[in-house]
Amino acid sequence: MTSAISIRRRQGTVPYVARRTFIHVGLIGAAFAMVYPLLWMTSTAFRPSEQALIEDSLWVPSPTLENFVGGWSAVGQHGFGVFFANSLIISILVIIGNLLSCSLAAYAFARLPFKGRKIWFALMIGTIMLPIHVLLIPQYLLFNSLGWVDTFLPLVVPKFLATEAFFVFLLVQFFRLIPHELTEAGRIDGCGHPRIFAQLILPLSVPALTTAAAFSFIWSWNDFLSPLIYLTSQDNYTVPIALSLFVDSTGTSNYGGLFAMSLLSLLPVIGFFLAFQKLLLDGISTTGIK
Amino acid sequence: MRLPVAAASVGALALLAACSGGDDDAPSSDEVPSEGPIAITWYGSDARNAAVQEVIDNWSSENTDVDITSQPTTFDSYWDRVSVQAAADNIACVAAMQSRYQARYEERDSLLPLDGLIEDGTIDVSGIPEAVLESNRNDDGNLYVIPYGIWFEGATLNVPRMEEFGVTPPDADGSWTDYVDWAIEAQDSFPDDAWAIADRGDQITQFQAYAMGEGEDLYGDGEVGFSQETLTSWFELWTRAVDEGAAPPPEVNAEYAGVPTSQSLMAEGRIMVGSTGDNNISDIQIALDQNELGTISIVRSPTDGVPQVVGANGWSIAANCENVADSASFIDYFINTPENALILETQTGLPPVTSVLEGMQENPDVSQAIKDRITLYFDLLDQGATVDIWPDGTQTLVSQIATNYEEVAFGQTSPEDAAASFIEQANAALSGF
């Protein structure tokens, strides 16, 4: 009897192991295919520029830092230090603006009863469907009349006015999950809406706020069109605009410098993700945004 | 008889008035604003931008009282930005234009007519060939754009490489049909991974050369200037070249689509006859030299003897500019200073002023490749080349013809249907939709 069971187990084990091995090999292969472009970009950044688009291999026989040195100062009079600083300033202000304004708007939609709330919420959600190209010229006319063109203001000020409907929606979803008993208890203790928002809702919403901050940072850091339109002086350019100057259809391009600076431009995004990884995943899983 | 004579006289006068330009809207230097900062915007890669910036810095050092802002960006991004700026009358004072794009801004009054500034000598255009300058003139009789760089596309030949395989080069004075006929005959002499001719079926500039050889042109009056039969025969010409094995198969073309010219099949020595812009020749030659794969030469586009067209990058002054005087001074400096040509090294195109070009030909520091391009450019002018100004809205047709041809090449549609589809798209673009 015992030997019969062990034989069945062995017979069952062999296909199980083979199946698991097959699945793992497949997954590793798929993962490698996904990561390969990033790895290739990394290795190309350390390759001599003239070999940039020739080599498919990830191995770099004689790595060099010349792309980093040359690329850092290849664009503009002040180099990439200024572009990274500009991107960082804009991204940080965008995060602050989005978190402040969107959380306030979300609190209103989630917790305050007011006339036409559902209609206003639907209208707010509807703005997500407006493509930027529709808004670009009216917004440009407005900001130009205010004298804001070639400053960071058109990229930052709207973020303080809860114009990112996606984040409002995301935070509304999260705020609705917070038990009403908590806020009722706060009201019994004499809290008004400002204290309930600041001392109850916000501390309980850190995962959702982190998610909003992460997306704000990534979108702002990678944004190309809006900075292109509003920032005209080289000294005000952001990293994506500066990177684009490496590749132009009308002339030769410094691909080595492009990949080196692209690699550097990824570091803040990766760093942000690593630093807030746990909160970010919590926020995504609890708001149903996947 | 009197009526035709009178009509002809009126027509001649109208033509004279149009050609002389300088209508009432074109202010002279006494009538333009001359206070405040100027912004200069143009397009290009990092290397080109650095060269233009050096010229700007040199002008700035001689005009220390003028506050200048540089606004370079890439070619594609540039037009996105300028189109939005134009909607708000906020274009930079000195704005680069290109012959394929400028019509939109001229016709929407975004640019200042420059005839007044030309007539009083603020901008000296006397050194620019008349054919180049006048073909740049808008239909309203005004000149809005002063060329600063000329470019043209031609056929490219790797003669030494052909001779390696014992093949006699094709006659460079014919048409694309002659080239394809030559390629089909010569292909047997080349190895399997090399082809006699590049597939040019997706290139609108070369189709234009073909159409001109057929007595037609790319654009007519508010609609395409060629027949469906001509475009169909163009597509058939290249499918024949591919089917006969004289041009690379579509999957190879797809693999090489979008790679830099320095890594194209021509640069790898695997194509004997192709076509490209004159400014790409140096990059291709550097790649060929690295592997000792021959020498590239450029000849005029195969128009079957009809004068070909050239393109021009140019400077304009925005209608909203508040310091026209200094903007005009900068343009005059940019195009007429011989030292600038040595700084720019033709990265923005061949200088428009004949004496500057002649100076480059005599300069031992200028490469032979550039001198050859200048010689060919002079030949093109002698043959009657003019600047080709594209109507507004037609810029997307560059990629549209590529899409239509790829469908033919991969057997998804017939040449007739692809030609009809392209003409429909082109006419829609020309009508403003």
Q: What are phi and psi of B225, to 5 degrees?
A: -100, 15
Residue A132 has pLDDT above 70, yes or no: yes
B91 interaction partners in chain A (CB closer than 8 Å)? none
Rounded average pLDDT per 10-residue block, chain B, 433 residues:
38 42 68 89 87 96 94 91 94 96 94 95 96 93 96 95 95 92 96 95 94 93 93 97 96 84 88 92 87 92 93 96 96 97 93 97 93 95 94 88 96 97 93 73
Q: What is the pLDDT of residue A74?
A: 80
Centroid of chain to Cα B387: 8
CA distance A199 to A187: 12
| A250 to B72: CB separation less than 8 angstroms, yes or no | no
Q: Which residues of A touch B (CB under 8 A)?
A: 53-54, 74-75, 77, 136-137, 140-141, 144, 149-150, 225, 228-229, 232-234, 241, 244-255, 257
pLDDT exceeds 60 at position A214: yes
**Chain A contact present for B162, CB below 8 A:** no
pTM over 0.80: yes
Top pLDDT among B218 and A255 is at B218
- A236: its two tokens: 């005000």
CB contact under 8 A, B45 and A136: no
Chain B, window 249-268: residues with a beta carbon less than 8 angstroms from a chain A beta carbon: 259-260, 262-263
* Interface ipTM: 0.80
Alpha-carbon torsion B34, B37, B42, B46, what sign? Answer: positive
Closest to B50 in 3D by CA, of A245, A256, A14, A173: A245
**B77 at A interface, C-beta within 8 A:** yes
For B70-102, the DSSP string reads: EEEE-HHHHHHHHHHHHHTT---SEEEEETTTH
Question: What is the spatial distance between Cα A225 and Cα A243, in angstroms, rounded to a whole number?
Answer: 13
Using CB atoms, which residue from A140, A232, A244 is nearest to B88? A140
Distance CA A154, CA A147 (A): 10
Residue A172's nearest CA partner among A120, A210, A127, A208 is A208
pLDDT surpasses 60 at A47: yes
Q: What separation, in Å, do the N-terminal and C-terminal C-alpha atoms of chain B show? A: 44
* Cα(B134)–Cα(B142) distance, integer angstroms: 10
Q: For residues A257-278, give the mean pLDDT.
A: 89
Which tokens go with B84?
């939005």
Q: Would the CB atoms of A241 and B347 count as touching at under 8 Å? A: no
| Contact check, Cβ <8 Å, B45/A250 | yes
Q: Are A115 and A198 in contact (CB under 8 A)?
A: no
Query: Residue B425: what residue type?
Result: Q
**What is the identity of the amino acid at B111?**
L
Q: Which two tokens stand for residue B376?
A: 């060919």
Among the listed ranges A73-77, A195-199, B168-172, which one has the minimum average pLDDT value? Answer: A73-77
- A254 vs B46, B73, B259: nearest CB: B46
Report residue A4's pLDDT band, with 50, 70 and 90 as the boundaries: low
Q: What is the pLDDT of residue B8?
A: 41
Cα atoms found within 13 Å of the Cα of residue A224, Cβ hemisphere only:
12
Q: Which residue of B46, B263, B279 is in closest CB contact with A245?
A: B46
**Whole-angstrom Cα distance, residue B312 to residue B133?**
10
Band (pLDDT 50/70/90 cuts) for residue A161 is very high
- Token duo for residue B404: 């239509």
Average pLDDT taken over every residue of chain A: 88
Q: Which residues of B touch A248 (CB under 8 A)?
A: 43-46, 48, 74-75
* pLDDT in the model for residue B237: 97
What is the CB neighbour count within 10 angstroms for residue A207?
20
Q: How confident is the model at residue A252 (pLDDT cuts 50, 70, 90)?
A: low
